Amino acid sequence: MAEGKPDVRLAALRRFAVAITALNVLGHTWFGFEQSIAQPLVALLTAYGLELGLEAFDARLRRRRPRFAGGFVPFVDSLLSAHITGLAVSMLLYANERLMPIVFAAAVAIASKHILRAPVGGGRTMHVFNPSNIGITATLLCFPWVGIAAPYMFTENLGPVGDWVLPALIVTSGSLLNTLLTRKLPLILTWLGCFALQATLRSIVFGTPLAAGFIPMTGVAFILFTFYMVTDPATTPSSRRGQMAFGAAMALAYGSLIASHIVFDLFFGLSLVCAARGLGLWGVELLRRRTPATSAAPAPAPAPMPMPTPSAPVAATVGVGERVGA
């Protein structure tokens, strides 16, 4: 980050942390979340503890200052990502009254940030998977009896007006966040357009009702996924073309999974696309290491040929000529 410029990603994290905290508080007190209060609490404790522990370990290993050191504000900022992750996995997973699957999801999510990384040039690496999504994906695979929170939980107690107001607020705040801060609007538009395209193609090929393919777009869970999960700044491309390719790949993965009758398509699809992007980054890095470095310095100019030394008879002749001419 250039000196004098605000940290846009940090500003986005702060706003998202406030938004998801408000959503969880309102969800458990008013909207109709059916998870127990204990589940977000254990998710947050797990995420906080692992984030601080792994950051301290990495800082000591690399002999650098931990990001949470330096006062209250750096400490809080260093936990923003863990805070968002803990609340997201506890909000989107439904494990009845069990706590261990939620702890497992939060632990996998935070650990993935520090372990599953790919090179991005300049000796730097970045985490490949969206933490919340990979935690949810791993939990769904390891615990088949765990499911995703039903969409009606987000608006169960809101009534007919609230059914429209809450999604409208999420879309508005998400659009502002991704337009002004994360700059992920090309990804969102491509993802939505390609999602509609794959729904239309599946209707043509398989004869399914077209409305059935568009129904997921009307749910609050889909809106949250679109504006706050698939647009994660740290695990998605920053260029416009890269964002468009990522959004199209996400729609392709979703359509392929649902055509194969695989459930939880949004979460599995995002994990597959992130994995493919991570492998691509590693492939570029390995290719760079194998390519021999060419010197950019120009080749030295050849040395001038030495003039031959005159032999003795020639020198004598020249001397006679000079004397005659004189």
The ranges assigned to domains in the chain are 8-290
Q: For residue 19, what pLDDT is reported?
A: 92
Burial of residue 109 (CB within 10 Å: 0-12, 13-18, 19+) is buried
- Where do we find the tokens 């390609």? 194
pTM of the model: 0.84
Measured at the CA of 56, the angle between CA 66 and CA 99, to 5 degrees, comes to 125
Q: For residue 323, what pLDDT is reported?
A: 40
Closest CA to 102 of 176, 21, 181, 47: 47
- Which region holds residue 288: left if phi is over 0, alpha if psi is between -120 and 50, else beta? alpha
For residues 221 and 215, give the distance between their C-alpha atoms in angstroms, rounded to a whole number.
Answer: 12
Closest CA to 129 of 239, 277, 316, 285: 277
Q: For residue 121, what pLDDT is reported?
A: 76
**2 secondary structure, DSSP code:** -
Q: What is the pLDDT along the chain (326 residues), one digit of tens a residue?
A: 444 455 677 888 999 999 999 999 999 999 999 999 999 999 999 999 999 999 999 999 989 999 999 899 999 999 999 999 999 999 999 999 899 999 999 999 999 999 999 998 777 889 999 999 999 999 999 999 999 998 888 888 888 888 899 999 999 999 998 998 889 999 999 999 999 999 999 999 999 899 999 999 988 889 999 999 999 988 999 999 999 999 999 999 999 999 999 999 999 999 999 999 999 999 998 988 888 755 445 555 565 655 555 544 444 444 434 443 43
| Both tokens assigned to 169 | 């607020």
Q: For residue 160, what pLDDT is reported?
A: 86
How many other β-carbons are positioned within 10 Å of the β-carbon of residue 143?
16
Q: For residue 123, what pLDDT is reported?
A: 77
CA dist list (Å): 4 to 7, 72, 129, 298 = 9, 22, 30, 38
